[in-house]
Amino acid sequence: MRKDRNLKKVILPPDPVYQSQIVSKAINMIMWDGKKQLAQKIFYRAMDLVAQKSGKPPLEVFLDALKNIAPTIELKTRKIGGSNYQVPVEASPERKETLSLRWLVMFSRRRTEKTIVEALACEIMDAYNNTGLSIKKRNETIKTAESNKAFAYFRF
């Protein structure tokens, strides 16, 4: 297990179209087998679909969707006396961003639309409208954290 907690954060260069680091992270999460150009093509086409569906700037819709998905509390497993407890912990801003991107990409891959571009665009629009699987996951996490509030004194 890693003891050194003072690791330097890797600063990603912003993406070429929107000049945003969050978009860069999203593209990296979409990427499989190092095929970054394919991931960029998927993301930018999905953003074009979002712009068509919403009629608003796609980056604004994407960032609002991420804010809607971001959980306020996360659960961390803590082993105490031979049993594991799910301890609710407040999520840091970086962790909120990471979880919301992860859930957005994961649930867009599970969707049954014809292409991943359509699935990603639909998941972004659903998250923007506070519906969809990623919002459901956030609500489940918050509900579980509420029920495990009794274990909050085990906090790290």
The pLDDT tens digits of the residues spanning 7-23 come to 788 888 998 999 999 99
Measured CA to CA, the distance from residue 108 to residue 101 in angstroms comes to 11
Q: Where are the beta strands (DSSP E) in the chain?
A: 73-80, 83-90
pLDDT number for residue 103: 94
Q: Find out whether 26 and 59 touch, Cβ atoms under 8 Å.
A: no
Q: With respect to residue 32, please indicate whether it lies within any of the assigned structural domains.
A: yes
Q: With respect to residue 8, please indicate whether it lies within any of the assigned structural domains.
A: no
Residue for token digits 């639309």?
113
pLDDT number for residue 84: 84
Q: Where are the beta strands (DSSP E) in 23-96?
A: 73-80, 83-90
47 or 154: whose pLDDT is higher?
Answer: 47
pLDDT class of 2 with cuts at 50, 70, 90: low
123 or 153: whose pLDDT is higher?
Answer: 123
Domain span including residue 79: 21-154
Q: With respect to residue 149, please indicate whether it lies within any of the assigned structural domains.
A: yes
4 has pLDDT over 80: no
Give, in order, the Cα–Cα distances in Å from 100 to each of 83, 122, 139: 29, 15, 12
pLDDT number for residue 115: 92
Q: With respect to residue 6, please indicate whether it lies within any of the assigned structural domains.
A: no
Number of domains observed in the structure of the chain = 1
pLDDT class of 147 with cuts at 50, 70, 90: confident
Q: What is the CATH number of the domain that holds 72?
A: 1.10.455.10
Q: With respect to residue 125, please indicate whether it lies within any of the assigned structural domains.
A: yes
pLDDT class of 149 with cuts at 50, 70, 90: confident
Q: With respect to residue 15, please indicate whether it lies within any of the assigned structural domains.
A: no
The end-to-end CA distance of the chain, in Å, is 16
Q: Provide the 3-class DSSP secondary structure of residue 19.
A: coil
Average pLDDT over residues 69-79: 88
pLDDT class of 148 with cuts at 50, 70, 90: confident
Dihedral (CA of 152, 132, 33, 16) sign: negative
The pLDDT tens digits of the residues spanning 117-130 come to 999 999 999 999 99
Q: With respect to residue 132, please indicate whether it lies within any of the assigned structural domains.
A: yes
44 has pLDDT over 90: yes
139 has pLDDT over 90: yes
Q: What does pLDDT average to over the chain?
A: 89
Q: With respect to residue 37, please indicate whether it lies within any of the assigned structural domains.
A: yes
Give, in order, the Cα–Cα distances in Å from 119 to each of 12, 90, 104, 106, 108: 26, 30, 10, 11, 5
Residue 148's CB is within 10 A of a number of other CB atoms, namely 16
